[in-house]
Structure 1
Amino acid sequence: MPSSPPAFVPPKPDNIKGAVYVVMCCMLLAGTTLIARSLGPQIAGDEALHPLQISWARFFFGASVVVPLALMRGHSFRQSAYGLHAGRVAMGYGGVVGLFTAAGLMPLTDATAISFLSPLFAMVFAVVFLKELVGVWRWGAAAIAFMGALVLTRPGMDTFQPAALIALAAAAFMGAELIFIKMLSGREPPLKILAINNGMGALVATVPAVLFWREPTAEQWGMMILLGVMMISAQTLFLKGIALAEANVAAPFFYTTLIFATVYGWLLFGETPGTVTALGAGLIVLGALILTWRENLARNRQKGN
Structure 2
Amino acid sequence: MKLSFYRLPFTARWRTAGIMTPVRQNPALAAMLIVTASAFIAATTLLAKALGTGTLGPALHPMQISHGRFLFAFLVIVSSVGVLRPRLSRPHWGLHIGRTSFGWVGITLMFASVAFIPVADATAISFLNPVFAMVLAIPLLKEGVGPWRWLAAAVALTGALILLRPTPASFQPAALLALTAAAVIGMELIFIKKLSGREIPIQILLINNALGLTIASVAVSFVFQMPTPEQWGALVAIGVLMACAQACFVNGMARADASFVAPISYATLIFAAFYDFAVFDVIPDIVSQIGSAIILTGGLILVWRETRVRTA
Q: Same fold (TM over 0.5)?
A: yes
User: For the Cα contact (< 8 Å) 2:149–2:302, is it kept in 1?
Assistant: yes
- Separation in 2, partners of 1:175, 1:13: 29
Q: Deviations over 1:124-175 (max 9, x none)?
A: 0111211111111110110010011110000114121001101000001111
Say yes or no: does 1:259 pair with 2:285.
no
Mapping of residues 64-103 of structure 1, within 5 Å: 64-75=75-86, 79-103=90-114
Q: In terms of mean alpha carbon deviation, does 274-283 or 68-77 score higher?
A: 68-77
- Separation in 1, partners of 2:169, 2:51: 26
- Separation in 1, partners of 2:308, 2:270: 26
Task: Give the AA of the match of 2:192.
Answer: I
Task: Give the AA of the match of 1:23.
Answer: V
Q: In terms of mean alpha carbon deviation, does 91-100 or 182-191 score higher?
A: 182-191
Say yes or no: does 1:276 pair with 2:293.
no
Q: CA deviation at 1:299?
A: 2.4
User: For the Cα contact (< 8 Å) 1:67–1:196, is it kept in 2?
Assistant: no
Tell me the residue number matched to 1:21. Answer: 33
User: For the Cα contact (< 8 Å) 1:118–1:175, is it kept in 2?
Assistant: yes
Q: CA deviation at 1:9?
A: 3.4
Structure 2: unaligned runs, 5 residues or longer: 1-18
Q: CA deviation at 1:78?
A: 6.9
- Separation in 1, partners of 2:139, 2:28: 36
Tell me the residue number matched to 2:45. Answer: 33
User: For the Cα contact (< 8 Å) 1:37–1:103, is it kept in 2?
Assistant: yes
Tell me the residue number matched to 1:107. Answer: 118
Task: Give the AA of the match of 2:44.
Answer: T
User: For the Cα contact (< 8 Å) 2:49–2:115, is it kept in 1?
Assistant: yes
Q: CA deviation at 1:46?
A: 7.2
Q: CA deviation at 1:73?
A: 2.6
Query: Tell me, what secondary structure is at the counterpart of 1:162?
Result: coil
- Separation in 2, partners of 1:8, 1:223: 30
Query: Tell me, what secondary structure is at the counterpart of 1:273?
Result: coil
- Separation in 2, partners of 1:222, 1:243: 31
Query: Tell me, what secondary structure is at the counterpart of 1:211?
Result: coil
Tell me the residue number matched to 1:3. Answer: none
When the two structures are aligned, how many residues end up with a matched partner?
Answer: 294
Tell me the residue number matched to 1:205. Answer: 216
Task: Give the AA of the match of 1:203.
Answer: T
Higher-Rg member (1/2): 1
Tell me the residue number matched to 2:16. Answer: none
- Separation in 2, partners of 1:40, 1:217: 13
